[in-house]
């Protein structure tokens, strides 16, 4: 049972109560692996990468259409773009970093938000039907960028000693537990934090995709004989999961950016 086989050769004849004796083609890790669409000099280009690049294209194209020739009196597209931009700028960046400190970080946060959101949305787009962010590499790259920015900024703001004080939560009033706290904080901030930052997004999308695939496949698999009503239930659940995933996709993009902002706020803080 190779992963690629299951993914690429969906057996349409495989139904419950049918004679060919095949089992439920349950989704699993193999649902997240794709055969390369093309191989260029040993570089395997797959569907996820294609979707990631289309994400880039879509985000840039949309905002180019909206903001490329921006007008004081906005058109519809510009208004929508402005609403999205304003949401990230005011509700996330200004809220956490303030207007003065935050302004500099707006481009990064706006890029992160829309890039992640569109990567997530692929989950429910027909034909694509796969959230790019459910492949760990993509959240990992973004979390790494945020981590590098955060570490660099902390160094720049507080110097070498200040950096360690900042990330270890150095506070004399803690007394004898201070060494313990410093060790925990050091690992928590420097090592665990970027990991959780990436995995939070990845795992949400991963789980969401599993659920969606399971109900979708089950809707077909159960569509036989007296179990047809069960297929109906599964189909309704698919619909429900799509709506729920739409919500989760936006929330996860929001959370990722909000956390990025709060990390940067920690770096800017005078006393951690």
Minimum CB distance to other proteins smaller for 138 or for 221:
138
Residue 38 has phi, psi (to 5 degrees) of -155, 150
DSSP assignments along 235-264, one per residue: HHHHHHHHHHHHHHHHHHHHHHHHHHHHHH
Residue from 9, 12, 17, 71 in contact with other proteins (CB under 8 A): 71
* Tokens encoding 172: 């004399």
Looking at 101-109, 156-164, 177-185, 228-236, which segment touches other proteins (CB under 8 A)? 101-109
CA dist 72 to 63, 75, 79, 253, Å?
16, 9, 11, 29
Residue from 94, 114, 122, 130 in contact with other proteins (CB under 8 A): 114
Minimum CB distance to other proteins smaller for 184 or for 199:
199
Residue 24 has phi, psi (to 5 degrees) of -65, 120
Name every residue whose Cβ is closer than 8 Å to that of residue 67 and which is 6 or more positions away in sequence: 78, 81, 85
Minimum distance between the CB of residue 9 and other proteins, rounded to whole angstroms? 18
Minimum CB distance to other proteins smaller for 17 or for 72:
72
Instruction: Calculate helix-pair angle for 95-102, 228-268, nearest 10 degrees.
Output: 50
Minimum distance between the CB of residue 225 and other proteins, rounded to whole angstroms? 33
The reply on whether position 123 binds other proteins by CB under 8 A is: no
The reply on whether position 76 binds other proteins by CB under 8 A is: no
The reply on whether position 75 binds other proteins by CB under 8 A is: no
* Tokens encoding 197: 């930052």
Residues 79-98 that bind other proteins (CB under 8 A): 81-82, 85
Minimum distance between the CB of residue 198 and other proteins, rounded to whole angstroms? 9
Tokens 């006393």 appear where?
271
Residues 199-238 that bind other proteins (CB under 8 A): 199, 202, 206
**Interatomic CA distance for residues 218 and 4, integer angstroms:** 20
Q: Which residues of this protein are in contact with other proteins, per CB under 8 A?
A: 3, 29-30, 32-33, 43-45, 48-49, 52-53, 55-56, 59-60, 63-64, 66-68, 70-72, 74, 78, 81-82, 85, 106-108, 110-112, 114-115, 135-138, 140-142, 145, 199, 202, 206
């Amino acid at each position: 049972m190779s992963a690629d086989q299951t993914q690429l050769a969906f057996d349409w004849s495989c139904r419950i109560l049918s004679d060919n004796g095949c089992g439920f083609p349950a989704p699993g890790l193999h649902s997240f692996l794709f055969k390369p669409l093309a191989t260029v000099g040993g570089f395997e280009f797959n569907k996820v990468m294609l979707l990631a690049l289309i994400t880039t294209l879509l985000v840039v194209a949309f905002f180019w259409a909206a903001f490329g020739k921006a007008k004081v009196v906005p058109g519809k597209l510009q208004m929508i773009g402005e609403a999205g931009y304003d949401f990230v700028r005011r509700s996330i960046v200004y809220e956490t970093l303030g207007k003065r400190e935050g302004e500099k970080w707006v481009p990064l946060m706006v890029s992160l938000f829309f890039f992640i959101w569109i990567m997530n949305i692929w989950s429910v787009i027909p034909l694509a039907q796969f959230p790019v962010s459910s492949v760990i590499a993509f959240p990992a790259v973004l979390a790494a960028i945020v981590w590098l920015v955060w570490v660099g900024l902390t160094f720049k703001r507080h110097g070498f000693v200040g950096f360690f004080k900042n990330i270890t939560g150095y506070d004399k009033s803690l007394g004898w537990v201070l060494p313990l706290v410093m060790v925990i904080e050091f690992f928590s901030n420097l090592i665990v934090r970027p990991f959780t930052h990436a995995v939070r997004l990845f795992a949400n999308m991963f789980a969401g995709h599993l659920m969606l695939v399971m109900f979708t496949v089950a809707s077909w698999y159960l569509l036989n004989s007296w179990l047809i009503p069960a297929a109906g239930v599964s189909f309704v659940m698919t619909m429900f999961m799509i709506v729920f995933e739409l919500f989760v996709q936006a929330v996860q993009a929001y959370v990722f950016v909000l956390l990025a902002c709060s990390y940067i706020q920690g770096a800017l803080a005078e006393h951690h």
